């Protein structure tokens, strides 16, 4: 395996000194090492396309080749700026897309349903975009030659290049400092507090990652079934727009989105669309712990922005923020009674139970039960 300090040392020797990306569990050692050592030369971006744009801006100002890192599920967000901005037929901007791409769902490996298709098309997408790429070997000397070769192509041909990273390519790295909020509730406690107060006809759309997993387990423990919620196992940042679409279609039912701070930041423009549309039955719950919890716990900007002020500026009728468990019931009641779009932000601890399970039903089974629930009279 490759040590993070060695890998980033190779890059530094070749002039790479700026890093932007969205965290990934396969790249967790590199992500945390950058967070501890790169200072303001490292930006955790809102989404992968934004990371590419940040890197392009840095190159325009310095002439240097920056590094962009992402999970392969974020390739879709990155495609537009890669093809319409960085491509050598447009502005010709060299990036080490390092395109560090974490290869989730690699063919022949076991992974979550949302990663299987992404894993199949990861390499073919790079080929379709004419992005030179290599799979990074875990053998240090061969890996260094691979990095040298790709950076030489990026610089000589003014084009993005990509390194695809398999699981266990990098040695584990224990972070020195991690973002944390000293909040009373766990995310599971907050989910239970909210969901237990919703009506039998209320629909839920939960965002990808541990929020959906914890919601699923809560329903299992309560023997309530899973027909009332749509578990958005992929499509990070889009849960609120899924919920809005449902709310527009069934205006006589309340629709709740259980969102995370990282997902909210990823496509925050959705709040402006919801606010402008004035969807009265759309209710938005943000569980904010200030980290990308599902991919290792790297910090987001969630604890440094005011979501309540943001959504009210976007046209939400009401927005509340709570930190204490004893205040949740009152605010959920107000949220249900309010004319939407309205939001409740709940501040929670980072982390999850070590034995947290995963949904036992498939996405297709979840969809079938949920659509039947939505379409009942």
Q: How confident is the model at residue 102 (pLDDT cuts 50, 70, 90)?
A: low
Would you identify the CATH topology of the domain 4-165? Answer: Rossmann fold (3.40.50)
Q: What is the pLDDT of residues 66-87, one digit of tens each?
A: 999 998 888 889 999 999 999 9
Residue 31 has pLDDT above 90, yes or no: yes
Confidence of residue 296 (pLDDT cuts 50, 70, 90): confident
What average pLDDT does the segment 249-278 reach? 97
154-211 tens-digit pLDDT: 999 999 999 999 888 999 999 886 656 689 999 999 999 999 999 999 999 999 999 9
Q: Do domains 4-165 and 187-374 have the same CATH topology?
A: yes
pLDDT at 266: 95
pLDDT at 106 over 80: no
Q: Which helix (H) or strand (E) holds 347?
A: strand 342-347
Residue 282 contacts by C-beta under 8 Å, 6 or more apart in sequence? 243, 244, 247, 255, 257, 274, 340, 341, 342
Whether the per-residue pLDDT at 112 is higher than 80: the answer is no
**What is the enclosing helix (H) or strand (E) of 80?**
helix 75-81
Mean pLDDT, to the nearest integer, of 29-46? 95
Output the pLDDT for position 108: 66
| Mean pLDDT, range 301-323, rounded to an integer | 97
Percent pLDDT > 90 in the chain is 80
Question: Hey, is 111 helix, strand or coil?
Answer: coil
pLDDT at 120 > cutoff 90 = no
Beta-carbon contacts of 372 under 8 Å, excluding residues fewer than 6 positions away, are 227
pLDDT tier at 269 (50, 70, 90 boundaries)? very high
58 confidence band (pLDDT: 50, 70, 90): very high
Listed residue (79, 71, 94) closest to 22, CA to CA: 71
The DSSP secondary structure of 10-78, one letter per residue, reads HHHHTT---EEE---GGGHHHHHHHHHH-GGGEEE-SSHHHHHHHHHHHHHHH----EEEEEGGGHHHH
pLDDT per residue as tens digits for the range 336-357: 999 999 999 999 999 899 899 9
pLDDT of residue 377: 57
pLDDT tens digit sequence for 253-265: 999 999 999 999 9
> What is the 3 state secondary structure string of 128-176?
HCCCCEEECCCCHHHHHHHHHHHHHHHHHHCCCEEEEECCCCECCCCCC
Domain extents in the chain: 4-165, 187-374
From the options 3.40.50.300, 3.90.226.10, 1.20.1250.20, 3.40.50.970, give the CATH code of 187-374. 3.40.50.970
Residue 356 has a pLDDT of 92
pLDDT at 26: 85
pLDDT at 116 over 80: no
The DSSP 8-state label assigned to residue 200 in this structure reads T
Does pLDDT of 97 surpass 80?
A: no
Percent of the chain with pLDDT over 70: 92
Cis peptide leading into 341, omega within 30 of 0? yes
pLDDT over 90 (residue 306): yes
Q: What is the pTM of this model?
A: 0.89
pLDDT at residue number 29:
93
Helices 187-195 and 210-221, interaxial angle, to 10°? 60
Handedness of CA 172, 178, 179, 184 (dihedral sign): positive
Whether residue 374 has pLDDT greater than 80: yes
CB 250 within 8 A of CB 276: no
Q: How does residue 101 score in pLDDT terms, banded at 50, 70 and 90?
A: low
- Section 234-247 average pLDDT: 95
Residue 105 clears pLDDT 70, i.e. is over it: no
The residue among 106, 92, 99, 110 whose CA lies nearest residue 77 is 99
What is the Cα–Cα distance from 170 to 360, expressed in whole angstroms? 31
How does residue 100 score in pLDDT terms, banded at 50, 70 and 90? low
Would you call 212 helix, strand, or coil by DSSP? helix
pLDDT attached to residue 293: 87
């Amino acid at each position: 395996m490759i040590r993070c300090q060695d890998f980033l040392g190779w890059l530094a020797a070749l002039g790479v000194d700026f890093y932007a990306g969205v965290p990934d569990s396969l790249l967790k050692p590199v992500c945390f090492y950058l967070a501890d050592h790169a200072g303001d030369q490292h930006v955790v971006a809102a989404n992968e396309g934004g990371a590419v744009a940040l890197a392009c801006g840095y190159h325009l100002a310095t002439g240097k080749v920056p590094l962009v890192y992402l999970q392969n599920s974020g390739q879709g967000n990155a495609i537009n700026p890669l093809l319409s901005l960085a491509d050598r037929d447009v502005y010709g901007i060299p990036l080490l897309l390092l395109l560090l791409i974490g290869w989730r769902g690699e063919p022949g490996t076991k992974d979550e349903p949302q990663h299987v298709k992404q894993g199949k098309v990861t390499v073919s997408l790079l080929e379709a975009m004419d992005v030179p790429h290599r799979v990074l070997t875990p053998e240090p000397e061969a890996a260094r030659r691979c990095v040298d070769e790709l950076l030489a192509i990026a610089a000589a041909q003014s084009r993005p290049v990509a390194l695809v990273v398999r699981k266990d390519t990098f040695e584990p790295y224990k972070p020195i400092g991690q973002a944390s909020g000293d909040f009373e509730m766990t995310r599971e406690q907050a989910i239970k507090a909210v969901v237990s107060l919703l009506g039998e006809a209320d629909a839920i759309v939960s965002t990808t990652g541990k929020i959906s997993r914890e919601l699923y387990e809560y329903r299992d423990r309560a023997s309530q079934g899973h027909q009332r919620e749509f578990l958005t196992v992929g499509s990070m940042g889009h849960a609120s727009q899924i919920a809005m679409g449902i709310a527009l279609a069934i205006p006589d039912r309340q629709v709740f989105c259980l969102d995370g701070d990282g997902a909210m930041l990823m496509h925050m423009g959705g709040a402006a669309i919801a606010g402008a549309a004035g969807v009265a039955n759309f209710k938005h719950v943000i569980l904010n712990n200030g980290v990308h919890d599902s991919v290792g716990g790297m910090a987001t900007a969630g604890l440094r922005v005011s979501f309540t002020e943001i959504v009210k500026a976007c046209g939400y009728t009401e927005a509340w923020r709570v930190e204490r468990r004893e205040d949740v019931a009152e605010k959920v009641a107000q949220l249900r009674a309010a004319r939407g779009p309205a939001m409740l932000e709940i501040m929670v601890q980072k982390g999850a139970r070590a034995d947290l399970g995963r949904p036992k039903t498939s996405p297709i089974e979840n969809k079938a039960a949920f659509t039947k629930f939505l379409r009942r009279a």
